[in-house]
Amino acid sequence: MDVGATLAKLATRRPGGEFSFDLLPAGALETVARGIRDLSPGSVGLTGCGAGRLEQQLDLPTRRFIEFEAWGAGAHQLLSAQPTGTREPYLLVSLGTGTSILRVAEGHALRLGGTALGGGTILGLGVALTGCKSYEELCRLAQRGKRGNVDLLVSDIYKPNEIPLPGEITAACFGNLARWLTPQSDEAGTAEAIDPSRREDLAAAVMGLVGENVALICAGLARGAETERVVYGGATLLENPTLVAILTNVTSMLGLTPVLLPQGGFTGAVGALELAANSDRAGRAPSVHLRPDG
């Protein structure tokens, strides 16, 4: 279980090696704990910022792991089944409520940096701007949006070939909104502020704000870390094709190879599971935390 600031990600492996996955609200820890107890697991691996709180709700053998360690182990497990394998080194990007960026090499994950831009930004800013009631609604809305009605593009301020940059590159996130704040005269000579944006455009622009900046930060860190592959995962990418497209397109444009983790929203949970299983096989005694009532 990877208990984040917003979501609790559950990975279960049954006899025979088959994985199953589930998402639960991180704020309802008793519900999460009840769901784990109902599975009657042989062992439980925990990670994430809420792992300690959940551990106190369980009367089961548990092992708790640092988030970055769990992410490294989970990415290795998820990539090992892919044709490209786990060629190291690579940059591992955890897109959760915020974003952490790790360098994975020789089986070890080292955090290089991160950004406060992430799923929390998308949900908080997106809801404030569009009135959406859920993350899922916001992602669907963004698919229909046109960022050019909100963002200022290079082509909006430079003529073709006037500067050595593609016209479709963003010059300023949300910069086009500043233009309609300046009153413009209509045919009758009446000064009127014109807002060209729609809810779907605002939703798409929020995805662009987060996606482009995360990809740019990753590119800088990747070059400094002498890596060419950028592996993206995290619950923020689940059912979010707009953000996925922005991340992969910008990463490729910057000369790097983007890789999307299969079931990447559950990378930390898979890693905690793998680390707990490895500890069990090594014969180390698990820690047991009892609830206050027993």
Q: Is 18 a catalytic residue?
A: no
pLDDT digits 0-9 by tens, 225-273? 999 999 999 999 999 999 999 999 999 999 999 999 999 999 999 999 9
Element (H, E) at 272: helix 267-281
Bridge-based pairing state of the strands 287-288 and 61-64:
antiparallel
Residue 290 has pLDDT above 50, yes or no: no
Q: Are 54 and 33 in contact (CB under 8 A)?
A: yes
Domains of the chain: 2-81+265-288 (3.30.420.40), 88-147+199-261 (3.30.420.40), 151-196 (no CATH)
Side-chain-side CA neighbours of 260 within 13 Å: the count stands at 18
pLDDT digits 0-9 by tens, 165-203? 888 899 999 998 877 766 654 555 454 555 656 899 999
CA-angle at 44, arms to 40 and 48, nearest 5°:
135
User: Of these residues, 67, 200, 212, 274, which one is catalytic?
Assistant: 67
pLDDT digits 0-9 by tens, 110-135? 999 999 999 999 999 999 999 999 99
Task: Count the neighbouring beta carbons within 10 Å of the beta carbon of residue 106.
Answer: 6
